[in-house]
């Protein structure tokens, strides 16, 4: 491989992919809108500004944060809120295993990288077949999303109730809408991804009426586990 690179017959992958950067920017923008909503909902519901801000920095898990705050605002205790957040975030354990090769070898890099593992960063990383592009996609999307999310949560928290009922703006639909738009090309072009997505969707839809919030997502990870070995075989070939 190194000899091929020296002779120029094989070029290193271009990590400065405009389409990749565009997709990451779109997801960051959508995440910022949702973060703004989260900060505003938290403070408008009666929580002090520091709660959503610190939670976003330390926990950094959008769906889990919404669920935890919802339980707190409904009168639930901190232990119930934390347990719900842990349940929803269980899926990140599988994501971490899937992207472990991009986190680096140093303790600090692995610690920071583990904190940045989300649905989106895992999706961006796993969509890249080349190891260099996979690493770049993970870190660029991870740092971008973390920064955007926390800045917008702070802005939403400071705005507080001035935004009114954020549900009337449909802010909660922005994030899944952008993610769906980004997934569609992969579904058209990559049969293994299409099969995994179909399996995951069927499992999630079947489990939604029967299981608590967050559990259908965990069960749908079966689609990811089915797809990953296939993807690695193709890459090895």
- The token pair that represents 224 in the structure block: 């990811």
Predicted TM-score (pTM) of the model is 0.66
Q: Is residue 76 domain-shared with residue 126, that is, in the same domain?
A: yes
Contacts of 158 (CB under 8 A, 6+ apart): 39, 43, 49
List pLDDT tens digits, range 121-141.
888 888 887 888 888 899 999
Cβ atoms of residues 26 and 81 within 8 Å: no
List pLDDT tens digits, range 146-193.
999 999 999 989 987 666 666 666 555 555 665 566 566 666 666 776
Phi and psi at residue 147, to the nearest 5°:
-65, -50
Domain enclosing residue 161, as ranges:
18-165
Buried b / exposed e along 17-56 (16+ C-beta atoms within 10 A): eeebbebbeebbebbbbbbbbbbbbbbbeebebebbbebb
Rounded to whole angstroms, the Cα distance separating 210 from 216 reads 9
Domain count, the chain: 2
List pLDDT tens digits, range 210-236.
876 556 766 776 555 555 544 444 444
Q: Is residue 159 domain-shared with residue 198, that is, in the same domain?
A: no
Q: Does residue 102 form part of some domain?
A: yes
The DSSP letter of residue 75 is: T
């Amino acid at each position: 491989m190194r000899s091929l690179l020296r002779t120029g017959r094989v070029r290193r992958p271009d990590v400065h992919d405009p389409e990749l950067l565009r997709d990451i920017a779109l997801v960051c923008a959508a995440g910022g809108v949702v973060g703004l909503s989260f900060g505003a909902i938290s403070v408008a519901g009666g929580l002090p500004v520091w709660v959503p801000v610190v939670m976003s920095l330390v926990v950094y898990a959008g769906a889990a944060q919404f669920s935890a705050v919802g339980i707190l605002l409904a009168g639930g205790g901190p232990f119930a809120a934390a347990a719900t957040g842990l349940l929803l975030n269980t899926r990140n354990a599988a994501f971490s295993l899937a992207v472990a090769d991009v986190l680096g070898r140093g303790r600090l890099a692995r610690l920071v990288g583990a904190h940045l593992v989300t649905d989106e960063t895992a999706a961006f990383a796993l969509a890249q077949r080349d190891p260099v592009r996979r690493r770049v996609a993970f870190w660029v999307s991870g740092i971008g999303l973390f920064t955007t999310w926390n800045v917008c949560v702070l802005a939403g928290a400071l705005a507080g109730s001035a935004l009114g009922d954020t549900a009337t703006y449909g802010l909660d639909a922005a994030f899944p809408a952008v993610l769906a738009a980004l997934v569609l090309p992969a579904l058209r072009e990559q049969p293994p991804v299409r099969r995994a997505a179909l399996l995951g969707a069927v499992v999630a839809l079947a489990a939604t009426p029967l299981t608590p919030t967050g559990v259908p997502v965990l069960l749908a990870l079966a689609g990811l586990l089915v797809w990953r070995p296939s993807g690695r075989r193709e890459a090895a070939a």
